[in-house]
């Protein structure tokens, strides 16, 4: 592994790690659902002008945004506000990969391989 790649991996890990304590600080002053809305608006707004929309039905794109943005992150923010430790919340969010696999199998008939 190149030193540059190692540095980038550590930088991404550090940014991800700082994400949850900063969320806890934000929740001290802002409602969890508002913080979720601000997070996704500020993250997505610049990119909608530069990245072409995927060639999928708008309903699937909206469903993904609502499930990932509203359901998952809003619940994580609510959990942190209710007392879940940021480190625990970071681990819980990693389980979304397994839920994604499960939904793919149950809803879309995908096969695991």
Q: Assess if residue 113 is contained within a domain.
A: no
Domain count, the chain: 1
Q: Assess if residue 47 is contained within a domain.
A: yes
Q: Residue 8 above 90 pLDDT?
A: yes
Q: Assess if residue 68 is contained within a domain.
A: yes
Q: Assess if residue 82 is contained within a domain.
A: yes
Q: Could you tell me the pTM of the whole model? A: 0.70
Q: Assess if residue 39 is contained within a domain.
A: yes
Domain that holds residue 32: 3-108
pLDDT of residue 43: 82
Q: Span 87-112, mean pLDDT?
A: 85
Task: Note the pLDDT tens digit of each residue in 23-58.
Answer: 889 999 999 999 988 888 888 888 888 988 889 999
Separation CA 86–CA 35 (nearest Å): 15
Q: Assess if residue 12 is contained within a domain.
A: yes
Place of tokens 């900063």: 22
Q: Residue 5 above 90 pLDDT?
A: yes
């Amino acid at each position: 592994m190149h030193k540059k790649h190692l540095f980038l991996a550590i930088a991404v890990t550090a940014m991800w790690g700082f994400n949850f304590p900063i969320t806890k600080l934000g929740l001290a002053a802002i409602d969890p659902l508002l913080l979720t809305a601000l997070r996704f608006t500020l993250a997505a707004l610049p990119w909608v002008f530069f990245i072409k929309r995927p060639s999928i039905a708008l309903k699937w794109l909206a469903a993904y945004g609502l499930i990932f943005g509203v359901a998952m992150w809003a619940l994580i923010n609510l959990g942190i506000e209710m007392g879940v430790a940021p480190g625990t919340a970071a681990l819980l969010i990693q389980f979304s990969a397994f839920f994604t696999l499960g939904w793919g199998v149950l809803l879309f008939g995908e096969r695991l391989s």
